[in-house]
Chain A
Amino acid sequence: MNEMMQVEMTVNGRVRSFDVAVNHTLLEVLRDDIGLTGTKECCVVGECGACTVLIDGVPMNSCLMLAVEADGADVLTVEGLATDGHLDRLQQAFLEQGAAQCGFCIPGQLMSAHALLQRNPHPTIDDINEALAGNLCRCAGYQQISAAIMSSAEGAGR
């Protein structure tokens, strides 16, 4: 029998109070308890970045974090990027640049890129390579992903 604990967290702007099993990762709770399946499970050892979400604005691997550790935190998942059914500028740039091939890694790529642009609105290509080093793309679509982030940043105006 799993030990349960009540937690409260803001997920994509909405405050939620609910019970989680203390041995479930944030990734499992987001996908299975809340039904936000945009965040992907892949390597589950913190190497691929498919499960990347922002915790209080900071990118982390949700597979390496217990859900109870996010008690009180502000969690942003890929579902929180669009507003009112409209993709945000970064998502639109991914679409236009053909950055998604199979698409599985893209939620994580978007979250790492979103975090980068929040703290550095005009990144260099080196900044992008460093910020996304923890997000693997097995289709090897890195050029298009970088191009999308660049074009999104340029669209933000200098």
Chain B
Amino acid sequence: MTVNAEQTTISVAPEDLMREVEGLQAGGYRLVQIGCTDIGGAYEVNYSFDRDYQYRNLRLTLGPDTEIPSISGIYWGAFVYENEMHDLFGIPVVGINIDFKGTFIKTAEKYPFSVTRRGGDQCRNA
């Protein structure tokens, strides 16, 4: 039997993120990935979840100075993606359960990774 796999994406505000993620966790969804996209002057962060091949995607759009809360208190394994997001895009994620402080992905060149964000601001975790 073939399972019908659907994908839905909804936009959420950073302040609503934790509530939405808690709701998905309570609904039996697993965390699939967190990925970041540079959309020129801002970042789009996709939090992807799955239950029975139904793909739910929460999308945050962040300005260059926006901090986001870690969801690692809800999904323990989120630290991999959150550290990656910090190390490769310089997005400050607050409260990661295992915070590598910019050393999870070792890049040969620090700039533009790990220590700066668009506009040259110092990243909080660096």
Query: Do A and B come from the same complex?
Result: no
Q: Using a CB–CB distance below 8 Å, which chain B residues touch chain A? A: none
